[in-house]
Amino acid sequence: MKKESGSREQTVTVKFPPALLLIMIVAVVATKSVHAQCTRSCGGPAPNDAFSVLHNFTGPPDGANSAARLVEDTAGNFYGTTSQGGITGGACGSVGCGIVFKVDQAGNETVLHSFAGRPDGATPLAGLVLDAVGNMYGTTSQGGTTNSGTVFKLDATGTETVLYSFTGSPDGAGPAADLVLDAAGNLLGTTSAGGISGRGTVFKLDATGKESVQYSFSGGLDGSTPMGGLVLDAEGNMYGTAFAGGAGPCKLPRRGRIMTTDTCGVVFELDTTGTESVLYSFTGEPDGASPAGDLVRDAAGNMYGTTVAGGILCIIIAPPLPGQGPSAEYDCGTVFKVHPTDGETLLHAFNGAPDGAIPYGGLILDAAGNLYGTTSQGGAGSCSASSGLSGIEDLGCGTVFEVEAAGNATVLYSFTGTGLEWAPKAGLALDPSGSVFGTTTQGGVTGGECTDFGCGVVFKFAADVNRPDAAAPTFSPPGGTYNSSQTVTISDPTANAAIYYTTDGSTPTTSSTLYAGAITVSSSETIQAIAAASGVANSPIASAAYTISPADFSLTAASSDLTLAAGGQKTDVITIAPRNGAFANAIQLTCVVAGPSPTPTCSLTTASLTLGTTAATSTLTITAPTASAMQTTPPQPMQPGTFAFTVWLPLAFVALYAALGGSKKRSRTCWALGGSLSVLLLLQSACGGTGGTMTSQTNYTVTVTAISGAIQHTTQIGVTLQ
C-alpha cells in the first residue's frame, strides 16, 4: 500500500487479521486501475477541518486494527474493540489478541480489557452493546475453550466474564457481528460458521448463560455465512443478512474474488417461532452482492444496508507484466433498501471515485431518512497498491458518505492517506451534537507491530446530522380500566434502548427510574416513559393511565317494605349482579330480623352462589308469628283513668270523713290522706295511666348480607305486622 505526503511516496504491504480474509474483496496486486464515472450526484468532499483524529492506536499494549462500530454512553464516551493489540505473548504472540477500549470526546483512550485467547477470547471483529447500567457485551471471533469464539460481558469496573464459548457444531463458530439486546435481556446474534451445516447460525443467549440456536443456515436458498448483526421489530421478529447463499445465479463474471459460493447473499427474516423467510436474494449486477454490515430499520419497516460487491464495475487491475493472464475486475458495492413485502430498491451503486468503493460497515439513519456510512476504498484520496514489480494501483483511501432518501450520494469526507488515516471497515456512530465517529483498520502511528501501515485511528467528523428520535415505548397491557391489579411491561423497538419511567406525574428523564422488569399496578396510576439509545435522540414521552376498579357485585331487593298479618308470609326477590367485570368468587347470603319479640323468621332459597358475568337471584321468605304467639306476657289490670279523678276521688273523701266521725282530728287526717291519694293519681295520669289498651301494629327490619372474602354488601327490607 503506497502513501503519498507532498512529494514523498511510500509503498507498504497491507496486513489484515486472519478473520477478515473471509470478507476481503480486493486483492491488492496490480499496476493499473480504471474508475467508472459517477452516474449520480456524488457531490464533493467537505473541508478537511471538519475531520479530526481523536486517537492513534499504537499496537501492544494498546490496540490495533479496529473493524468494529463504536457505541456511545450517556456521558458522550465511546467504546469499541480492536482485533489485535493488547497484552502480547501466549496464544496470540506478539500481535496480541485484541482489546476493549474507551475514548472520550477529547481523545483520551483507556484500555478496559486485553484478551488472552483461551479461555476468554481473541480477535473481536464486532462492536459492543451497552445495557442500561453500563455493562458491555460483545463477541470474539476466535478464542474460548475450542477457539470457535465467545460471547463476553465487561462490567463497569472492567471485569470480563465469558458468558459462552462456542463449540462449532451445532451451536456456531466465528461470530463477527454486533449483538443486540432484547427487552427480556436476551442477547441475540449470528455466527459466520458452525451450526448443523457449518454455514452459520442465529443464536440467543439468555440471562443465565444458556445458548440456543434459533436457526442454522444450510448454505442453499436460505443463505450462508452471516457477517452482519440482527435488527428487531416490535413483535420480536429478527432481520439480518447472509454474506452468501440465496437463489442465484450471482452475475459476477469477475476474477480474483474471495467467495465461498457462486451466490450473492440474502436478506432474511426469522420470526419468533424460528421460521426463516428470505426477503430478497441479491443477483450481483446491478443490485449488489455479499452484504456484510448490520441493517438499520425505519419506523415504516424499511431496512437499509450495504453490499461489499455487486453494483457497477469500477476497478480493473491488470496483470503486472504483459502476457501474465487476464485482469482482475471488481464491482464496488451498493446501498440498498428492502421492505418485507415490497422487495428491494437499489439506492446507490458506488463508482470508486469520487464516492467510494467496497463498504463493509452498516449504516446510520437520520431523522429525515438520510443514510450515512463509510467505504473502505475509493474516494479522492491517494492510497495505492503495489505488486512489488513495476506497477502502482491507486485504489483510494475510503470515504464517509451520505445517501439521501431519494438515492443521491454525497461524499462528506475522503480519507487522504496523507494524515495516515484510511481504510474504515466499520459503520459510524452518532453523538447528540450531530457529529459522526468511527474507526479505521489502518493508518495512524507507524512502527512496531503495526510496521509501515499504522494500527488505525478513532476519528470524528462534524457532519451536523439530525439524529432521529428513538421510538416511543409501548405498554402491555395498554392503559385502561381493569378489575384487578395489572402486571405492566414496557418495551421499545429501538435497538439496545434503555427505558426510564415515572409514576408520580413528573416528566421522565434519563435520571428517572430505569425500567428493569414488569411493574405491578395495584391502584389507579399513570405511567410515563421514554426510551434512550446510542445514536438517536430520546423518544417522545409515552403515557398509559390505569384505573383499577376491583371486580365487585351489587345486592338489591325488589321491595323495600312489606306488610304482614299475624301468622302470614311474604316473599321478596334479592338480586345479586356482577360489577366491574366478571365476579368469579363464591358469595354467601344470610338474613336476620331485628325488632320486638317475638320476631318474624326469614329464609333464603339460595344461600351460596357464584356469579361470573351474569346476575343471580335468591328468594327471601318472611313468616310472621301467630296472634297467640304475640301474647308473650299475662294481661295487666286496668289503671285508673280520668274518671277516678272526677268521680271517685270526691267520694273517697266523703267516705273517709264519715268513717272518722267528723271530728276535728279525723278531719285533718282525712285531708292528709286524700291529698296524698290525689297526688299519686295525678302522677299516674301524667305518666300515661289512661287505661289498659294494646298497640295495633309492630315494625321490624330484615337485613340480607352477602359476603365474598373481604367484600360485604347488605340490603334492608322494612316489615310491618298488623
Q: What was the pLDDT predicted at 13? A: 31
Q: What was the pLDDT predicted at 30? A: 27
HSE-up of residue 554 (Cα within 13 Å, Cβ side): 10
Confidence of residue 43 (pLDDT cuts 50, 70, 90): very low
Q: In the predicted model, is pLDDT for residue 41 greater than 80?
A: no
Q: What was the pLDDT predicted at 536? A: 81
| Greater pLDDT, 40 or 534 | 534
The rounded distance, in Å, linking the Cα atoms of 63 and 143 is 17
Rg of the chain (C-alpha set): 46
Angle between helical axes of 664-686 and 649-660 (0-180°, round to 10): 160
Confidence of residue 617 (pLDDT cuts 50, 70, 90): very high
Q: What was the pLDDT predicted at 629? A: 81
Give residue-wise pLDDT tens across range 192-214.
Answer: 999 999 999 999 999 899 999 99
Give residue-wise pLDDT tens across range 23-32.
Answer: 433 333 222 2
State the burial class of residue 507 (Cβ atoms within 10 Å of its Cβ: 0-12, 13-18, 19+). exposed
Q: In the predicted model, is pLDDT for residue 35 greater than 70?
A: no
**Which amino acid, 513?**
T
The rounded distance, in Å, linking the Cα atoms of 499 and 80 is 23
Mean pLDDT value across the chain: 82
Confidence of residue 325 (pLDDT cuts 50, 70, 90): low
Q: Which of 74-83, 533-542, 688-697 has the lowest mean pLDDT?
A: 688-697
Where do the DSSP E strands lie in 595-681? 601-604, 608-612, 616-623
Give residue-wise pLDDT tens across range 86-106.
Answer: 998 878 888 899 999 999 999
Q: What was the pLDDT predicted at 421? A: 67
- Percent share of the chain, pLDDT over 90: 57
Give residue-wise pLDDT tens across range 404-437.
Answer: 988 889 999 998 865 556 889 999 998 888 899 9
Q: What was the pLDDT predicted at 318? A: 62
Q: In the predicted model, is pLDDT for residue 125 greater than 80?
A: yes
Indicate the SS3 state at residue 431. Answer: coil
Averaging pLDDT over each range in 114-128, 395-409, 450-464, which range is the top one? 114-128
Q: What was the pLDDT predicted at 645? A: 44
Set of cell numbers at residue 649: 276521688
For 49, phi then psi, to 5°, come to -70, -10
Q: In the predicted model, is pLDDT for residue 389 greater than 90?
A: no
Q: In the predicted model, is pLDDT for residue 681 greater than 60?
A: no
Sheet architecture: strand order including 231-232:
231-232, 238-242, 266-270, 276-281
pTM exceeding 0.85: no
Q: In the predicted model, is pLDDT for residue 631 greater than 50?
A: yes
The mean per-residue pLDDT over the stretch 650-656 comes to 49
The mean per-residue pLDDT over the stretch 124-132 comes to 93
The rounded distance, in Å, linking the Cα atoms of 284 and 329 is 13
Confidence of residue 702 (pLDDT cuts 50, 70, 90): very high
Q: Which of 9-23, 79-93, 223-237, 374-388 has the lowest mean pLDDT?
A: 9-23
* Burial track 562-576 (b if 16+ CB lie within 10 A, e otherwise): bebeeebebebebeb
- Percent share of the chain, pLDDT over 70: 78
**Which amino acid, 74?**
T
Q: What was the pLDDT predicted at 262? A: 65
Confidence of residue 449 (pLDDT cuts 50, 70, 90): low
Q: What was the pLDDT predicted at 74? A: 81
DSSP characters over 438-483: EE-SEESS-SGGGTTT---EEEEE-----PPBPPPPEEESPSEEES
User: By the 8 A CB rule, do 430 and 365 touch?
Assistant: no
**Kind of pairing between the strands at 109-114 and 486-491:** unpaired
The mean per-residue pLDDT over the stretch 365-392 comes to 77
| Greater pLDDT, 251 or 188 | 188
Q: What is the CATH number of domain 552-630+696-721?
A: 2.60.40.10
The rounded distance, in Å, linking the Cα atoms of 216 and 199 is 7
| Cα dihedral 509, 513, 516, 517 sign | negative
Set of cell numbers at residue 458: 478513532
Q: In the predicted model, is pLDDT for residue 384 greater than 80?
A: no
Count of beta carbons in the 10 Å neighbourhood of residue 167: 16
